[in-house]
Structure 1
Amino acid sequence: MATVVVAAGILLGTSGCNLFAPQATTIQYDASDGVSGNLGDLAIRNAMLITDDGENANLVVHVVNGGDEDIDLLVQYEGVDEKVDKTVTIDANSTTEIGLPGGELLAVESLNASAGSLFPVFFQYGDLTGIELLVPVLDGTLAEYSTLVPTPAPVPTVVPTEPAGETPSPTATPEATTAP
């Protein structure tokens, strides 16, 4: 009988931690610098804004569509002067990378937020109530983000040309003479 009591005490003592403490593997968290959220069939993952000047930014986010239909995702943010709406099509049963090389690009202009701050971005589609995420604003200081900083669009340069002048007319070629 004493052996059974000791065995039960050891079993309860070694497994009792799971009765009162939550398992760390069941706690969901954002494993990177971005933030995440769920919206219907969409899983918005690791959203962040990369900026160099606090004025223009690149929205970097992975959007997973677990549904069987393509979804037109509305991305909305408050610019300096007005609300800005942009739409991105998320293909059915796939992951769409926004802001990464080779993926969709979504430029955020008139940001007015410096690196280190949080910027509200609203995501919505269909009849669902959307979600607002406080997206962290980062810069290109870290090597992994340095290639994601938005670059200004190239400005075409005008090369002045010389004004068209009169084309010189050919002169007559002197005739050959024979030597005496």
Structure 2
Amino acid sequence: MTVRTRATRAAASALIAGALLVGTAGCSFITPTATLNHYDPSDGIGAEVGDVKVRNVLAISNDDESAVSLMVTIINTSSSSGSLRMQYESAEGERIDISKPVTSGEVKSYGTEVDGDMIVIADAGIRAGQLFPIYFQFGNDSGQELLVPVMASDDVIYADLAPASALSE
């Protein structure tokens, strides 16, 4: 009888251990892996326009909200050089184009450093807290419109990256 009791206990222990293993690991079989999902880890947003990656796009409004500086990082993963075209609508309803050249394999940033290259938009008619629609297009690839968040310059992180007041110039 002792042999049978030991065998029963061993089988029961193995069954419980197996159930515990399947119960605790079963979620990974039906739940998608979160690290494979694209997300924007900062205040800005991003997109891919053909072989060009547009990352951390953010507009920073100045104190009187008369202008914004555009913060953007452009990564050209293609084998060809070209220009990234950005188009927005001014406060008067006119479409404005901005074109920035980017060579093959280049990573180019605008508005990310105090003394660096900036893209200043003075006629956007937008305020902090709004979303600024900007259309991005590279080469012959179809473009994509992004709703760019507009941040206030009173945030310590962005205070030095805001443009000068357009009304005082």
Structure 1-normalised TM-score? 0.78
In 1, Cα distance between the equivalents of 2:139 and 2:106? 18
Q: Which of 1 and 2 has greater Rg?
A: 1
Identity of aligned residues (%): 33
Q: Structure 1: how far apart are the matches of 2:117 and 2:101?
A: 9
Moved more, 136-145 or 50-59: 50-59
2:27 to 17, 30, 33: 17
Correspondence for 2:120: 107
* Residues 54 and 111 in structure 1, CA contact (< 8 A), matched pair in contact too: no
TM-score (norm 2): 0.82
Q: Which residue of 2 aligns with 1:158?
A: none
Aligned to 2:74: 63
Q: Conserved in 2, the CA contact under 8 Å of 1:96 and 1:103? A: no
Task: Give the whole-Å Cα distance in 1 for the aligned partners of 2:78 and 2:121.
Answer: 27
Q: Structure 1: how far apart are the matches of 2:129 and 2:74?
A: 23
Q: How does 1:165-180 map to 2 (within 5 A)?
A: none
Q: Choose between structure 1 and 2 for higher RCO, CA contacts under 8 A separated by at least 6 residues.
A: 2
Which letter maps to 1:62? Answer: T
Q: Is contact 2:52–2:138 with CA below 8 Å preserved after alignment?
A: no
Provide the alpha-carbon RMSD of the alignment: 2.0
* Separation (CA, whole Å) in 1 of partners of 2:155 and 2:161: 10
Q: 1:148 corresponds to which letter in structure 2?
A: L
- 1:35-114 matches, within 5 Å, as 35-52=45-62, 53-81=64-92, 82-101=94-113, 102-114=115-127
Show structure 1 runs of 5+ residues with no match.
156-180
Equivalent pairs counted in the alignment come to 155
Query: What amino acid maps onto 1:69 in structure 2?
Result: S
Secondary structure in structure 2 of the residue aligned to 1:143:
coil
Q: Which residue of 1 aligns with 2:134?
A: 121
Note the C-alpha offset of 1:3.
Answer: 4.8
